[in-house]
C-alpha cells in the first residue's frame, strides 16, 4: 500500500509558490461554503510514521483556512477521565458539528497499531478492533459525516534521513525524541502492522489516502488538494448517499507514479536470457513439486496494458510446470451466467484446490481498471471493490493459497512500436484490434487507475510485482525470478 | 434477542388453513415476478437450534413455490474439495443467480458458532470471523442480493419437549441423533454464543429475523410471510439502494408480543411494598458503595409508554443513592448543537466515569421508538440503529459500565385510567398534554416498535427488563430487585 509513497515524490519550490495561493483561496472558499450550508461535519484523520510531516500539515491547514472553525485535537496517552470511560469516548467528544472541520491528530488508529506492534494484542484482537473501527466510520458516514483519512508515509531510508536532519539542527532537535528512535528500530514491524490496518479499514465510504512525506512542497500540496477535492465534491451534493461521498484517489501532483518511474532501460542479452531462463524454470519446476505444495495452492494474476507481453510471459512459466498442476483462466467479458452473480463469483469458481495452480490472464482487477475507466460500473462500486478484493485475497491466503500478482509495465512508446509491428506481420494481425487503439487513447486514465490499484491492493499477503517489460527477455526472467522467490518464501 | 421467541407463540389450525392458500399463491406470484425480472438473487439463510423446524420450513418453501427455481443447499461437514479451498468457497458455489432463490441451510454461521461453543476459538477470533461475515453480507447486498436471514429458536424447555416428542414416535425417532442430545446439554452456552453472533451480524442491510419454532402453524406462516414481505418490497423497487432493501420486522401473526403477554395482574399490598422497598433500597445503597464499584460505572435506561411511571420509579432508586454518585439525564427533543452531531453523540457526552452512575429518562432508544413511529428519520436510519446501539452498549460494557435497561410496561386500559386521573387532579394536569393523547392513538405502532426493539437489542451484556407496571408498588419493587440482581452479578 506504500509503493507510491516510496518513489521520491518531489515538487519544485517555484511550482509550490505558484500553486499554493490558488489552493489556499479555494480551501477558504470551500470552508466558508461548508460553514454556511452547515449540512455535514468534516473529520480529518491524520496518521502516519514519525517525521513524515503530520504536524506541519495540520499547521498548514490551520494557516490556509480560518482556524476559528477548525478544531484540532491531538490524542496522546489517555487522561484519567478518559481511562474511566469507553475507549471511543474521547473521540466522540472531539467530533465536529455540522459545518465545522475537526482534525484528529493521532486518532482511533493509534492505540490498536501500537498495541499490535508491541505485541500486547493478538492478531485476532487487532482485527476485531479494526472491524469495530470500520463499523464506527461507516456509522459516521451514514450519519452524514465526510471523513478524510490521510496517512503520511516515509520509506525506511527517508525516515532515517529525516530524523537525522531534524536532530542535527538546533532549532528542530527537540522534536526528535528517544521514542522516535525507538520506533525507528522497529520500522519494518511497524510498517507491516500499519499496512494491515490500512488494508482492513480502507473502505469505499472512508478510504485511506497515503501521502509520501519526505518533500515539504509535494506533501503539503497533495494533502491540501485531497482535502479540497473531497470538500468540493461533497458541497456540490451535501445529501449524497454514502457511496459517492468518499474523496476519490487523486493523480500525484508531480505526475510521478509507480508506472512512469519504473526503469524501462533494463535489458538482457540473448545469451544471459536463455541461461537464466533455464535455471529459473528448473527451480520453479522443483518448487511446484515441493512436498509442502500439497498443502498449498498457487494463484497467479497477470495484468498489464495491451501488448505488454502477458501471454508470452505466461508461456515461459507454464513450460516449467506439469500440465496437471495448473489451469490458465483467461478473463474477458463475463458470460450471462457470470453477470447474474455477484462480481467476484466468476473468480471464486476457479479457486484451485491444494496442490494446484491457477493463472489468471487478467483478473478481478478488471473492476478497478477497465470497468472504472470505461465507466462500466458506478464510482461507488469500484471504490468499494478495493476493500472487497483485499478481503478476497485475504481469504485465499488464509485458505492456503500463495498469491502472486504481476503488472507487466511498458512505456507508451513501446506499446506503439509493438502495435505497429503487429499490424505489419500477417500472423500477428489478429492480435491488434480497433479496441486496442481506442484503449491506447485513454492511457492517462488507465495509468492513474493502475497507480491507484497498486496503492490500494498491494498488501503484505499479496503484493504487486511491477515488472518493467519494455525488454521482453528481461521481463520474463524477472517475473520468473519473483515467482520463484515468492514460492521459496512461502514453502 | 430471543425474548419474543419464548412467549409461546401459537396459531390455530383453522387460521392456518385459511391463511396458507393465500400466502402460497402470493409467494408463487412473487417467485415468478422475480424470475421474470431477473434483477436480483434471493439468498435465504436458515439457522437456529435443533428441532426448531428448520427442515420443515425449507420443505414448505419448496412445496409452496416452484422448486425448479429454488436451489437448496445443506452444508454439513466439509468435503475434501472444500477443505482444500478458502472457507467461503462452498458458499460462493451455492449462490443463486439473479431471478433465483437459494436456500442455505446451515450457512456461514454454523462453523464459527460451533467452534466458539466448543471453545476451540477465542472470543476475539470469533468476533473477527463475525466481522468478516458482516462484510461479506454487505458486499452481497451492495452487489444487489436480497438476503433473508431466518433464525429458528426454541426455549430450553421447548427444545427438550420437542426432542422427546420426536424420539417417542417411530416415524420421527430417526431424526433425533445423539449429537442433538449432546448439543442440548450445552443449551445455555450454545444460546449465549448464538445470541452474540446475532447481535454482531444483525445489520441494517441484512438483519436477523428470529422465529419461535415450537408451533408448526405459527412458525410456518411467520417464515412464509417474512419471505413474502421481503420479496414484494424488493420487487417493487428492484434497484433500490442497500439501505431500504432489508426485510422489515413483522408483527407476530398471532398478535402476541412481549408487551401484551406480560402479567399485568401482579400486585403488592402497601405493607409488603414498604417492607420490600426498604430492604431493596438498603441493598442498593450498599452496592453503589461497593469497593468494586470504583472500577465500574452504572448506566441505567428507563423507557416506557406515557404515564408508565418512569419518573416515580427513578425517584425510588435515587433515594437509595448518594447525590454525588448519580446524574439523571432526561431526554427530550435534541438541542441545536446535538442535532449538528451524529445521533449517538448526545448520549456519549453523558457517559459516566468509573464510580458513577447515569440514569437516562428516555434514551438512545428514541430512534427506534418515537423517531420510527413518527417517521422523524428514514427507514434505513432506524434499521441500522439497532446494530449501532448494540455496538454502543458493547463499548459501554467493555469500558467497565454495567448497563441496566428497563421497559415499564402498562396496558392501554391502565394508561387511559391514569390519563383521566391526571386530567382531574389540578397538580397533575401539567403532566398530560395533547401530545400524550396523540401518541396514545398510535399505541399499536408503538407496541410493535417496542417488541422489535426488545428483540433486536436485548443482549447478554445489556438485557432488557420488561416490568409489568399496572401496579405501581409492584413495578417499583420489581425494578429495584432487578437492578440489585444486576449489580450483584456484576460486582
Of A481, A460, A480, the C-alpha closest to A3 is: A460
Q: DSSP assignment of A335-391, as one string?
A: PHHHHTS-TTHHHHTTPPPTT-EEEEES-GGGGGTHHHHTTSS-HHHHHHHHHHHHH
Q: According to the model, what pLDDT value does residue A147 have? A: 94
How many other CB atoms are found less than 10 A from the CB of residue A36? 10
Region at A375 (left for phi over 0; alpha for psi -120 to 50; beta for the rest): left
Phi/psi for B361 (5° steps) reads -95, 95
Q: Is B140 on the interface with A (CB under 8 A)?
A: yes
A146-173 per-position pLDDT tens digit:
999 999 999 999 989 988 988 888 888 8
Statement: residue B283 has pLDDT above 90: yes
CB contact under 8 A, A81 and B388: no
| Contact indicator for B398, B296 with CB cutoff of 8 Å | no
B159-212 per-position pLDDT tens digit:
898 888 888 888 888 888 888 888 888 899 999 999 999 989 988 888 899 999
The half-sphere exposure of B305 on its side-chain side, counting CA atoms within 13 A, is 31
Helices assigned H by DSSP within A89-169: 89-93, 110-117, 123-142, 156-168
Q: Is A297 on the interface with B (CB under 8 A)?
A: yes
How many other CB atoms are found less than 10 A from the CB of residue B423? 13
- Spatial distance between the Cα atoms of A129 and B202, rounded to a whole number of angstroms: 18
| Alpha-carbon distances, residue B249 vs A90, B27, B202, B229, B448 (angstroms) | 35, 18, 12, 10, 9
Between helix B110-117 and helix B123-142 the angle, nearest 10°, is: 170
Interface test with A, best of B35, B123, B142 (most A CBs within 10 A): B142
* Strands lying side by side in the sheet with A401-409: A326-330, A357-361, A297-304, A401-409, A464-468
- Spatial distance between the Cα atoms of B297 and B403, rounded to a whole number of angstroms: 9
| Contact indicator for A259, A409 with CB cutoff of 8 Å | yes
CB contacts of B128 in chain A (<8 Å) are 124, 127-128, 131
Of B70, B92, B68, B89, the C-alpha closest to B79 is: B89
- The lowest-confidence range among A79-83, A339-343, B108-112, B129-133 is A79-83
* Strands lying side by side in the sheet with A208-212: A70-74, A101-105, A42-48, A146-153, A208-212
Statement: residue B45 has pLDDT above 90: yes
C-alpha cell at A417: 512500436
Band the pLDDT of B245: cuts 50, 70, 90: very low
Of B312, B327, B317, the C-alpha closest to B287 is: B317
DSSP at B174:
T
- Spatial distance between the Cα atoms of B280 and B91, rounded to a whole number of angstroms: 53
C-alpha cell at A178: 528517544
What tens-digit pLDDT sequence spans chain A (491 residues)?
888 888 889 889 999 999 999 999 999 999 999 999 989 999 999 999 888 999 999 999 999 999 889 999 988 777 888 888 888 889 988 899 999 999 998 889 999 998 999 888 999 999 999 999 998 998 899 888 999 999 999 999 998 998 898 888 888 888 888 888 888 888 999 999 999 999 899 888 888 999 999 999 999 999 999 999 999 989 988 776 554 445 566 678 888 888 988 999 999 999 999 999 999 999 999 999 999 999 999 999 999 999 999 999 999 999 999 988 999 999 988 988 888 888 999 999 899 999 999 999 999 999 999 999 999 988 888 988 998 999 899 989 988 999 999 999 999 999 999 999 988 888 888 778 888 889 899 999 999 999 999 988 998 899 999 999 999 999 999 999 999 999 999 99
CB contact under 8 A, B348 and A388: no
| Contact indicator for B167, B108 with CB cutoff of 8 Å | no
Statement: residue B243 has pLDDT above 60: no
C-alpha cell at B375: 417517521
- CATH numbers and ranges of domains, chain A: 3-244 (3.40.50.300), 270-490 (3.40.50.300)
CB contacts of B122 in chain A (<8 Å) are 122, 124
Region at B307 (left for phi over 0; alpha for psi -120 to 50; beta for the rest): left
Which member of B86, B97, B143 has the closest CB to residue A351?
A: B86
Of A150, A147, A146, A148, the C-alpha closest to A57 is: A150
DSSP at A334:
P
Interface of A with B in 64-103 (CB under 8 A): 81, 84-89, 92-93, 95, 97-99
* Global ipTM: 0.79
Phi/psi for A388 (5° steps) reads -65, -40
Average pLDDT over residues B321-333: 90
| Contact indicator for B171, B38 with CB cutoff of 8 Å | no
Which member of B85, B95, B297 has the closest CB to residue A351?
A: B85
Q: Is B157 on the interface with A (CB under 8 A)?
A: no
Phi/psi for A403 (5° steps) reads -105, 120
- Spatial distance between the Cα atoms of A85 and B398, rounded to a whole number of angstroms: 9
Statement: residue B240 has pLDDT above 70: no
CB contacts of B81 in chain A (<8 Å) are 353
- Spatial distance between the Cα atoms of A189 and A105, rounded to a whole number of angstroms: 22
Place of cell 421447548: B158
C-alpha cell at B442: 398510535
Instruction: Specify the DSSP element, H or E, that contains A401.
Output: strand A401-409
Q: What whole-number percentage of chain B has pLDDT above 90?
A: 61
Statement: residue B246 has pLDDT above 60: no
Q: Which residues pair with B148 in a beta bridge?
A: B44
Question: Any residues with CB less than 8 A from the CB of B407 and at least 6 apart, and which?
Answer: B303, B304, B450, B454, B464, B465, B466, B467
Region at B400 (left for phi over 0; alpha for psi -120 to 50; beta for the rest): left
Average pLDDT over residues B213-236: 93
Tell me chain A's radius of gyration from C-alpha atoms: 24
Q: According to the model, what pLDDT value does residue A241 have? A: 52
Q: Is B112 on the interface with A (CB under 8 A)?
A: no
Cα B191 from chain centre: 14
Interface test with A, best of B34, B35, B85 (most A CBs within 10 A): B85
B167 burial level (CB within 10 Å; 0-12, 13-18, 19+): middle
C-alpha cell at B134: 458482516
Q: According to the model, what pLDDT value does residue B449 have? A: 93
- Spatial distance between the Cα atoms of A445 and A90, rounded to a whole number of angstroms: 42
Which member of B89, B388, B399 has the closest CB to residue A85?
A: B399
Statement: residue B40 has pLDDT above 70: yes
Between helix A54-64 and helix A13-37 the angle, nearest 10°, is: 60
Between helix A156-168 and helix A187-201 the angle, nearest 10°, is: 120
Q: State the smallest CA–CA distance between residue A115 and chain B in angstroms.
A: 15
Band the pLDDT of B384: cuts 50, 70, 90: confident
DSSP at B407:
E
Label the pairing between strands B146-153 and B42-48.
Answer: parallel
CB contact under 8 A, B140 and A342: yes
| Contacts of range A181-185, beta carbons closer than 8 Å, 24 or more positions apart | A183/A50, A184/A50, A184/A159, A184/A160
CB contact under 8 A, B142 and A355: no
CB contact under 8 A, B344 and A92: yes
| Contact indicator for B110, B49 with CB cutoff of 8 Å | no
3-class secondary structure, B208: strand
| Contact indicator for B411, B367 with CB cutoff of 8 Å | no
Average pLDDT over residues B142-153: 92
Place of cell 469505499: A204
Band the pLDDT of B371: cuts 50, 70, 90: very high
CB contact under 8 A, A95 and B342: yes
Amino acid at each position: 500500500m506504500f509503493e507510491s509513497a516510496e518513489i521520491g515524490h518531489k515538487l519544485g519550490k517555484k511550482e509550490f509558490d505558484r500553486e499554493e495561493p490558488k489552493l489556499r483561496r479555494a480551501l477558504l472558499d470551500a470552508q466558508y461554503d461548508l460553514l454556511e450550508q452547515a449540512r455535514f461535519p468534516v473529520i480529518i484523520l491524520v496518521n502516519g510514521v514519525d517525521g513524515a510531516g503530520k504536524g506541519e500539515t495540520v499547521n498548514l491547514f490551520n494557516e490556509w483556512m480560518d482556524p476559528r472553525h477548525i478544531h484540532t485535537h491531538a490524542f496522546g496517552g489517555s487522561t484519567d477521565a478518559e481511562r474511566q470511560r469507553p475507549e471511543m469516548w474521547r473521540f466522540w467528544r472531539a467530533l465536529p458539528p455540522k459545518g465545522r472541520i475537526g482534525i484528529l491528530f493521532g486518532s482511533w488508529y493509534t492505540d490498536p497499531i501500537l498495541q499490535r506492534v508491541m505485541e500486547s494484542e493478538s492478531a485476532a484482537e487487532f482485527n476485531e478492533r479494526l472491524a469495530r473501527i470500520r463499523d464506527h466510520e461507516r456509522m459516521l458516514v451514514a450519519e452524514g459525516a465526510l471523513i478524510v483519512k490521510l496517512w503520511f508515509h516515509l520509506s525506511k531510508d527517508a525516515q532515517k534521513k529525516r530524523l537525522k536532519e531534524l536532530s542535527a539542527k538546533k532549532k528542530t532537535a527537540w522534536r526528535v525524541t528517544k521514542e522516535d528512535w525507538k520506533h525507528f528500530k522497529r520500522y519494518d514491524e511497524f510498517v507491516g502492522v500499519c499496512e494491515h490496518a490500512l488494508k482492513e479499514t480502507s473502505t469505499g465510504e472512508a478510504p485511506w489516502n497515503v501521502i509520501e512525506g519526505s518533500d515539504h512542497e509535494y506533501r503539503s500540496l497533495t494533502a491540501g488538494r485531497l482535502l479540497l477535492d473531497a470538500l468540493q465534491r461533497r458541497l456540490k451534493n451535501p445529501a449524497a448517499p454514502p457511496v459517492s461521498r468518499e474523496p476519490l484517489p487523486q493523480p500525484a501532483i508531480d505526475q510521478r507514479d509507480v508506472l512512469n518511474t519504473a526503469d524501462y532501460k533494463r535489458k538482457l542479452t540473448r545469451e544471459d536470457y536463455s541461461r537464466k531462463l533455464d535455471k529459473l524454470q528448473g527451480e520453479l519446476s522443483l518448487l511446484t513439486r515441493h512436498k509442502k505444495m500439497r498443502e498449498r495452492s498457487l494463484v497467479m494474476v497477470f495484468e498489464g496494458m495491451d501488448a505488454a507481453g502477458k501471454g508470452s510471459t505466461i508461456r515461459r512459466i507454464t513450460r516449467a510446470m506439469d500440465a496437471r498442476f495448473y489451469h490458465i483462466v483467461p478473463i474477458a467479458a463475463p458470460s450471462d451466467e457470470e453477470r447474474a452473480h455477484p462480481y467476484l463469483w466468476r473468480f471464486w469458481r476457479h479457486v484451485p484446490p491444494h496442490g494446484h495452480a491457477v493463472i489468471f490472464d487478467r483478473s478481478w482487477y478488471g473492476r478497478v481498471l477497465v470497468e472504472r475507466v470505461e465507466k462500466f460500473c458506478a464510482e461507488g462500486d469500484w471504490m468499494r471493490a478495493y476493500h472487497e478484493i483485499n478481503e478476497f485475497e485475504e481469504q485465499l491466503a488464509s485458505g492456503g493459497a500463495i498469491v502472486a500478482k504481476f503488472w507487466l509495465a511498458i512505456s507508451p512508446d513501446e506499446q506503439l512500436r509493438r502495435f505497429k509491428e503487429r499490424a505489419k506481420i500477417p500472423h500477428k494481425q489478429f492480435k491488434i484490434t480497433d479496441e486496442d487503439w481506442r484503449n491506447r487513447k485513454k492511457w492517462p486514465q488507465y495509468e492513474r487507475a493502475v497507480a491507484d490499484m497498486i496503492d490500494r491492493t498491494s498488501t503484505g499477503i499479496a503484493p504487486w510485482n511491477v515488472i518493467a517489460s519494455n525488454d521482453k527477455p528481461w521481463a520474463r526472467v524477472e517475473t520468473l525470478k519473483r515467482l520463484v522467490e515468492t514460492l521459496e518464501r512461502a514453502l
